[in-house]
Structure 1
Amino acid sequence: MEEKPILDKLWETYELSHEAARAQRQELESVPKAQKRVGELKRSISGLGNINLDAIEEFDRVNQRYTYLTDQRDDVRRSKEELEKVIADITGEMKSIFSQQFGVINAAFGETFTELFGGGMATLELDDPEDILGCGIEIKVQPPGKALKVLSLLSGGEKAFVAIALYFAILKVRPTPFCVMDEIEAALDDVNVTRFARYLRGMSTKTQFIVITHRRGTMEEADVLYGVTMQEQGVSRLLTINLNDVEKELHIK
């Protein structure tokens, strides 16, 4: 008779059956200590406040949202890692290709400079070899009979001639079907114009050049000359001279 009220109270208070309670049974050191511990636990339970019956459903909803966002975050992290790996691979390949091609263009630049200037030397140097994709490039040249200088210390004509040499060096390494030049030799003196035109003639076997110029030396090396004149106000006229045909007619070799 005494056992039944105890079991009923056990279920009503803790929702535990007799078997479940026995599974959690612990030996007591003393009844006063056990009663004190029971009081502490009851105060802790009371401090939790009222029971939220919707807490389980709310937990399931929040947990699903958390799981979804966690999966999305992990997917973004994986994608980021994959992209970083791809970027690193591409950057490494770019460095390798740039380093190789830079050396080839540097060698071609030295040869072209010597041919155009009739001697001297020229080199391309990286400002920071450890950061070849982000650093600048220094152009150092030594025209015949002069000291080694950087490009910024040269005269206007020398700068233009060095730029032309570099341009021709790039064309040697990477030839193109045709090329348009707009008065790039305007700052050169007559001697260097002649050198430029003759060198251009030598490269015309691989590339067709369309040159806009007013320099006689360049025109003399051309195959065809096109000129625009305006004899009447507002009326333009195109003149064409095929120098190869003229040479044949005049028997000029």
Structure 2
Amino acid sequence: VNEMAEREQALRTQFDSSLTEKQQREAENAQLAEQVVALEAERNAAEVRESLLQFESEQVRARLVEIDEALRTGRQLLDAARDRRGELSALVAKLQSDAQYMAESCLNDLGVQRAELMADTTIVMVSGEALVQEDGLYREMRTRLDAMGPVNMMALEEYKETAERHHFLETQRKDLLDSIENTVATIREIDSVSRQKFEEAFHKINENFQHTFKKLFGSGHELMRLTDEENSAESGIDVVASPPGKKLQNVLLLSGGEKALTALSLLVGIFQYQPSPFCILDEVDAPLDEANVGRFTELVKEMSVQTQFVLITHSKKTMSIAPVMYGVTMQEPGVSKLVSVKFGAA
């Protein structure tokens, strides 16, 4: 029982102690709650102050930006003002130099002081574009005067001499132009006549060539044609031949004998256009065979009615048509002897 009482007493003491501690803790909690409320209020006040300070900071930054921009603009204006001051200083110096130059020019060129000219109210004042034009006219006239040089007292006489020389040269020039025109007209006439004569001769010789070609070959076709028919004066001539049994082809493709007969036909065609009393043929029958030599001799006999032929040949058949034959022999070494024979003389 005593133990229970003691335990009860201890429990009561512990309960009282706990109750006292509880009250103390509740007092502390109340105090802490008050502190929390105070701190909360202080925090709210700090937040409000922080917001105010942040707003003021933003305003200060914006103001600083405005100040920086104003400062930059002020510096730019200051630099521009300095540049403008430099330009104006240079312009003032130039205007002072121009004024000094104009004063010297007035004194040197006109013999009048600048102040006197400025005071003269009869002189029209110009500016702007009109001033530029007047200055250009002045410079042009000044250049012309400088180019004239000093006054030449003999200029009138020199002008008369030059005018006479010019008239003489103009007359000579006109004569030369007339001569050139007459010469050109004569050249045109000569070219026209030459072209006409050439075309007439070309067509006639072509006809003679075709006729002789058929006589020498027995048949066949041939022709001459201009390489440039539009410009006959400078055109070349192509000879195209077609002996019996062959197609029409360039004369360069023929055989040696055919070339010789074709050339002989062309030579005879030219000769017939303007015949001569004498004709010398030097071994033209050398590349011909017996049949072609016969046709050649018949052609020579036909043409010998109007032309006397002198034939140099080694062909007996050609010799047989000659009324007179001359031979060269060498009976002794180094000594030539001429022998002549007349056929048909009794």
- Deviation of residue 135 (structure 1)? 0.9
Q: Tell me which residue corresponds to 1:50.
A: 150
2:180 matched to 1:80?
A: yes
- Which of 205, 208, 211 pairs up with 1:105? 205
Unaligned runs of at least 5 residues, structure 2: 1-120, 126-130
> Using the alignment, how far apart are the partners of 1:191 and 1:97 within structure 2?
37
Greater relative CO, 1 or 2 (CA 8 Å, sep 6+): 1
TM-score, normalisation: structure 1: 0.77
- 1:42-191 equivalence runs, <5 A: 44=142, 47=146, 49-191=149-291
Q: 1:3-43, CA deviations, whole angstroms, 9 ceiling, x for partnerless residues?
A: xxxxxxxxxxxxxxxxxxxxxxxxxxx94339x99xx69x8
- Deviation of residue 77 (structure 1)? 1.3
- Deviation of residue 230 (structure 1)? 1.1
Q: Tell me which residue corresponds to 2:107.
A: none
Could you say which structure has the higher helix fraction?
2
Q: Name the larger-Rg structure.
A: 2
State how many pairs are aligned: 214
Secondary structure of 2:238's counterpart equals strand
Distance 1:65 1:119, change over 3 A: same
Unaligned runs of at least 5 residues, structure 1: 1-29
> Using the alignment, how far apart are the partners of 1:77 and 1:93 within structure 2?
24
- Which of 321, 324, 327 pairs up with 1:221? 321
> Using the alignment, how far apart are the partners of 1:72 and 1:174 within structure 2?
45
2:294 matched to 1:200?
A: no
Secondary structure of 2:163's counterpart equals helix
Q: 1:117-137, CA deviations, whole angstroms, 9 ceiling, x for partnerless residues?
A: 010011110111111121111
TM-score, normalisation: structure 2: 0.57
Q: Tell me which residue corresponds to 2:52.
A: none
> Using the alignment, how far apart are the partners of 2:261 and 2:283 within structure 1?
12
- Deviation of residue 49 (structure 1)? 4.8
What percentage of residue pairs aligned between the two structures are identical?
A: 38
- Which of 18, 27, 33 pairs up with 2:124? 33
Q: 1:99-140, CA deviations, whole angstroms, 9 ceiling, x for partnerless residues?
A: 112111111111110111010011110111111121111111
> Using the alignment, how far apart are the partners of 1:33 and 1:189 within structure 2?
112
- Deviation of residue 61 (structure 1)? 2.1
The one-letter code of the counterpart of 2:240 is K
> Using the alignment, how far apart are the partners of 1:95 and 1:244 within structure 2?
48
> Using the alignment, how far apart are the partners of 2:246 and 2:284 within structure 1?
24
Aligned alpha-carbon RMSD (Å): 2.4
Distance 1:49 1:167, change over 3 A: closer
Secondary structure of 1:244's counterpart equals coil
Secondary structure of 2:123's counterpart equals helix
Secondary structure of 1:179's counterpart equals strand
Q: Tell me which residue corresponds to 1:19.
A: none
Could you say which structure has the higher strand fraction?
1
